């Protein structure tokens, strides 16, 4: 287990003997888990949420505590009936409902295709046009964190 230096300030394992939420004491069975959003340590039950947390530069689903999960700011599936970018109705033929993983707004699949090659965003993550612009501007700042994920082997051989 290594300490991550990027992202939130991670709570030290040694500083924590109880879950930050339910106060359950950690044992060999009740393991410590870091929330990737706030960096605090929780038991597996209290950190059993999985999601992206763009404002913390978490663009792929990661372990989150409940409060981070609820703080992510993603719109509910029925929050709007038309794409926030092109205004096409989600009920129309071929207009799929997707979430921009950066601003959390409901965007159609055509406006937010899976990204490829944005500096700070792993490929395959949907980002709306507005956010693509701001991420590109932010690219320099967050590039160091993107390195982590780009180390993964990118090319997938066809498995069919």
146 binds Zn ion (CB under 5 A): no
Nearest C-alpha neighbor of 146 from the set 61, 57, 62, 35: 57
Number of residues that bind Zn ion (CB under 5 A): 21
Q: Whole-angstrom Cα distance, residue 68 to residue 89? A: 30
Q: Binding segment for Zn ion among 4-12, 35-43, 133-141, 152-160 (CB under 5 A)?
A: 35-43
Taking the complex as a whole, the smallest distance from the CB of residue 8 to Zn ion amounts, in Å, to: 8
Taking the complex as a whole, the smallest distance from the CB of residue 95 to Zn ion amounts, in Å, to: 7
Q: Which residues within the stretch 86-145 sit at the binding site for Zn ion (CB under 5 A)?
A: 86, 100, 102-103, 108, 111, 128, 131
Q: Whole-angstrom Cα distance, residue 94 to residue 108? A: 9
Contact 79, 106 (CB under 8 A): yes
Taking the complex as a whole, the smallest distance from the CB of residue 147 to Zn ion amounts, in Å, to: 23
For CA atoms 39, 20, 26, 15, give the dihedral sign. Answer: positive
Q: Which is nearer to Zn ion, 3 or 157 (CB)?
A: 3
């Amino acid at each position: 287990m290594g300490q991550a230096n990027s992202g939130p300030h991670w709570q030290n394992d040694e500083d924590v003997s109880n879950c930050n939420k339910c106060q359950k004491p950690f044992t060999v069975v009740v393991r410590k888990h870091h929330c990737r959003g706030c960096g605090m340590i929780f038991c597996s039950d209290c950190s059993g949420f999985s999601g992206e947390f763009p404002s913390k530069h978490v663009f792929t689903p990661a372990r989150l505590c409940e409060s981070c999960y609820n703080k992510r700011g993603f719109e509910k599936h029925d929050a709007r009936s038309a794409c926030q970018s092109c205004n096409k109705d989600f009920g129309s033929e071929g207009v799929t409902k997707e979430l921009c993983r950066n601003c959390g707004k409901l965007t159609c699949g055509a406006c937010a295709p899976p990204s490829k090659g944005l500096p700070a965003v792993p490929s395959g993550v949907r980002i709306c046009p507005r956010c693509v612009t701001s991420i590109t501007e932010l690219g320099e700042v967050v590039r160091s964190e993107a390195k982590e994920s780009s180390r993964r082997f990118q090319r997938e051989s066809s498995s069919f």
